[in-house]
Chain A
Amino acid sequence: MELRQRYEEDLFLVRGAAAWLATAALLAALAFFPFYTPRYLLFPGILVAINVVVAVGLNVLTGLTGQISLGHAGFVAIGAYTATLLAARLGVPWWLAWPAAGLTAAAFGFLVGLPALRLTGPYLTIATLGFGIAVHQVLTNWEALSGGRMGLAVPRVTFGPAALTSDQRLYYLAMATAVLLTWAAANLGRSHVGRAFVAVRDSDIAAEVMGVNLTWYKTLAFAVSAFYAGIGGALFAQALRHLEPQSFDLLQSIYYFSMIVLGGLGTVPGAVLGAGVLTVLPGFLSGFREWLPVIFGVAIILMMVLEPRGLYGRWLRVRRYFKTWPL
């Protein structure tokens, strides 16, 4: 056991040679992923990266700040349509359109966050649910803007070396975004902002007494989370190259929510794990067809009963067990 003597030592995100080695190995594995795996696994890799961005963002809101959102697909949709409309109608380049998509979603996140000051628990959940459904309805019916149910073609963005295929380029872009935003979220959790979020989650009255500005931090949590969702949406649009409101329905919001619950609420690695597992699993289990939702539901219930801290919690336990093994 190492002994930490100074506060700075406690602040390191990656601690010790073994951890550095593992991090480097992981990054290298991600960087060379397109070269050592069969090509057909590349696209699932892109989808995993996109869902990691959304799940890590949702975890800031739900895991850290304790505000449950069942309308997250709405933010993803706003990001996807903003990026696409900016590029298709105004010819904005992608490196400008995508951050703009994140910021637009963040602005909506701020607005949705305002009622969170008065609503808590199930009432807030219903408000976010309403938001998600409203976005879906607006996109379905405002055909001049979104193309409605006929769909909207997404212009292809060109970037990166021509030697790579378009899937490979998108993979690098999505994965780099996911790594960067995951790192940012991990850091956010350890900053005074993250501490304030956690204080709000544990007791908002106590947090306010201690000087945490509830108005600011609750809306900030919504805005940050929606920013992540917006960026995820812009990536999603580019991956599919055709947008349809049906991709952003209530079920999708529930899916995002299950990701962070299954992975482990309140932890960044948990969100990453959950996103990865829930993105890849349906493809693997597609042989079960109509049983798939049942299997999923049962798995989540079992998870809640047996391991409420999620996949990441299970991992921590296993690791702790082996630390003292064979005692």
Chain B
Amino acid sequence: MDAEKSGAIADKGGEATMRYARVFGLVLILAALLFPATAGVAQERGITPTEIIIGSTVPLSGPAAYWGLGVGRGIDAYLKSINDAGGIHGRKFRTVLLDDSYLPPRAAVNVRELVERHNVFAIVGMIGTANAFAARDYIIESKTLWITPTTNDIWAGLREKKYLFVTYPSYLNEGRILTQYAAEKLGTKKMAVFYQNDEYGLGLLRGVKYGVGAAKGVKLVGQASYEVTDADVSAQAVKLRQSGADTVFIAATPTQGALIVREMAKLGWRPQLLATFTLGDPIMFRLAGEAWNDIYLTAYFPLPGSGDNKIEETLGTLFRYDAALRGSPYNALAGVSFIEPLVEALRRVGPDVTKDKVVAAMESLRNWDGAVARGVTFGKDRHQGLNRIYIVKASNGQYVKITDWISYQTSF
């Protein structure tokens, strides 16, 4: 009896040990299943043996959709064309395009999704100052490559700028340069500005003020602003006319830019017109009508329809991949100009890609000409790749280059 009893007890003890062992084993297996990545070799995020993952969040709906669709789909179409030409050292691009509807909270959500869910190697572009700023801290802290958010001063107050590269002109300098040109060559005496009420328009307004201060005998006599959602700018046209200006600077999106020019034409008022580079789209001749002729604007890459072969070739390729881009050729080209330097850097790095190598390759770009972007220069202490623009004049539905490159000081 006793022996039997003790045997039973011993058996029970054995069973218990077995059970613990089994549970322990199960836990180990679960843990191994849950953390498979830690065992493997550390790999660069967004770089797989076959793919390079590029992400962007742009407004594909809402008031700025025109911009976002052109830029976002332009980037996508351009990368597809590179894939079909063989990719970069055996890897193909995969583009993840998210819609933020021009809303900052959505942009903040999207960049996290890009990095943590889609594991992107780099984030390209981003439209809208508020959106870019809402996403900025996260992108910088996650040490993600960030190429050309289209907003000036995004670098202000940043300590860590290693992974931020910008190939986009400075609004401030653009406003200044064009104003000085008008004062010296076009006989402007009284300036007025029509601007979008946000960082974009206000940056240009500040530039015009600098220009007015630097040039002799010019005064800023009027300014009128609009909101990006406005569909009627007739009041602004009247206000600008009452200011008695002889020259009007248009710092607007294509929609409102065309509206104000039409309104001024309705009033029978034809001042000298100046405009920012974002209105360089040939579509403006159709939108704004006859009054768009004789306007002066700046450009940082050869404008479509100005006879540059590389540009026309790129446009042809883009249209082949995405026919919808025919409606916004300028923005599609702008998208290409943002992503191009990164593609070139990846080419230079070779098959063994790491983020720091790409940064070093970006910083090695000197006066580099791409299909769209021209004269891109980065360096250890210079991550603003563009420091020059030129001035074009519109005549007979064409933009004609009338000055050489005009340089300005880069700020970071």
Shortest Cβ distance from residue A249 to the other chain B in the assembled complex, whole angstroms: 9
Closest A residue to B156 by beta carbon equals A153
User: Known interface pairs A150-B202, A242-B104, A242-B133. Does A166 touch B141 (Cβ–Cβ under 8 Å)?
Assistant: yes
Q: Is A289 an interface residue (CB 8 A)?
A: yes
Given the complex, which residues of A lie within 8 Å of B157, measured CB to CB? 153
A40 to B116, Cβ gap below 8 A? yes
Shortest Cβ distance from residue B158 to the other chain A in the assembled complex, whole angstroms: 11
Shortest Cβ distance from residue A39 to the other chain B in the assembled complex, whole angstroms: 4
Given the complex, which residues of A lie within 8 Å of B136, measured CB to CB? 241-242
A47 to B105, Cβ gap below 8 A? yes
Q: Is B190 an interface residue (CB 8 A)?
A: no
Given the complex, which residues of B lie within 8 Å of A148, measured CB to CB? 202
A40 to B113, Cβ gap below 8 A? yes
Q: Is A44 an interface residue (CB 8 A)?
A: yes
A149 to B133, Cβ gap below 8 A? no
Shortest Cβ distance from residue A285 to the other chain B in the assembled complex, whole angstroms: 10
User: Known interface pairs A282-B101, A289-B61. Does A246 touch B130 (Cβ–Cβ under 8 Å)?
Assistant: yes
B199 to A149, Cβ gap below 8 A? yes
Given the complex, which residues of B lie within 8 Å of A236, measured CB to CB? 105
B109 to A283, Cβ gap below 8 A? yes
Given the complex, which residues of B lie within 8 Å of A156, measured CB to CB? 137
Cα distance A290–B104 in the bound complex, in angstroms:
17
A244 to B104, Cβ gap below 8 A? yes
Closest A residue to B137 by beta carbon equals A241
B60 to A289, Cβ gap below 8 A? yes
Q: Is A27 an interface residue (CB 8 A)?
A: no
Closest B residue to A152 by beta carbon equals B133
Given the complex, which residues of A lie within 8 Å of B103, measured CB to CB? 247
Q: Is B284 an interface residue (CB 8 A)?
A: no
Q: Which of B169-203 contact A (CB under 8 A)?
A: 197-199, 202
Q: Known A-B contacts: A149-B202, A151-B199. Give 18 more (CB < 8 A).
A: A39-B112, A39-B116, A40-B109, A40-B116, A42-B112, A43-B108, A44-B109, A150-B129, A150-B199, A150-B202, A153-B133, A167-B138, A239-B105, A240-B133, A286-B98, A286-B101, A289-B65, A292-B61
Which residues of A are in contact with B by a Cβ distance under 8 Å? 38-40, 42-44, 47, 140, 148-151, 153, 156, 166-167, 236, 239-242, 244, 246-247, 282-283, 286, 289-290, 292
Can you report 25 residue pairs joining A to B where beta carbons are below 8 Å apart? A38-B116, A40-B112, A40-B115, A40-B116, A43-B108, A47-B105, A150-B129, A151-B199, A153-B157, A156-B137, A166-B141, A167-B112, A239-B105, A240-B105, A240-B134, A242-B104, A244-B104, A244-B130, A246-B198, A247-B103, A247-B130, A282-B106, A286-B60, A286-B61, A289-B99
Please list the 7 inter-chain residue pairs (A to B) with the smallest Cβ-Cβ separation, ordered nearest first. A242-B133, A40-B116, A244-B130, A289-B61, A240-B134, A39-B116, A40-B113
